Amino acid sequence: MDGEIPGDRATTCGWTMYPTAYEIKNGQLKICFECKQCGKHHRNKRADDDEAQKLDDYMKEYKEILY
């Protein structure tokens, strides 16, 4: 995951990122992720291989893990 500069991959946490929200902005789906360990938030454009139709299920699963 990026640190302070996009693309720097400087974060040393190394834990799993989970989707927490998504939005459509300028015609593109953007997904907000949160690190399970350190809580850092990161937003990415949807990749071609992302299963966007399953985002709601993934977010629900993450909330169940936390609580």
Which comes out higher in pLDDT, residue 67 or 62?
62
pLDDT at residue 1, as a whole number: 57
Q: Where are the alpha helices (DSSP H) in 4-54?
A: none
Beta strands in the chain (DSSP E): 17-25, 28-35, 41-45
Question: Does pLDDT of 7 surpass 60?
Answer: no
pLDDT level of residue 30 (50, 70, 90 thresholds)? very high
Q: Can you tell me the distance from the alpha carbon of 31 to that of 18, in angstroms, rounded to the nearest whole number? A: 10
pTM across the whole model: 0.66
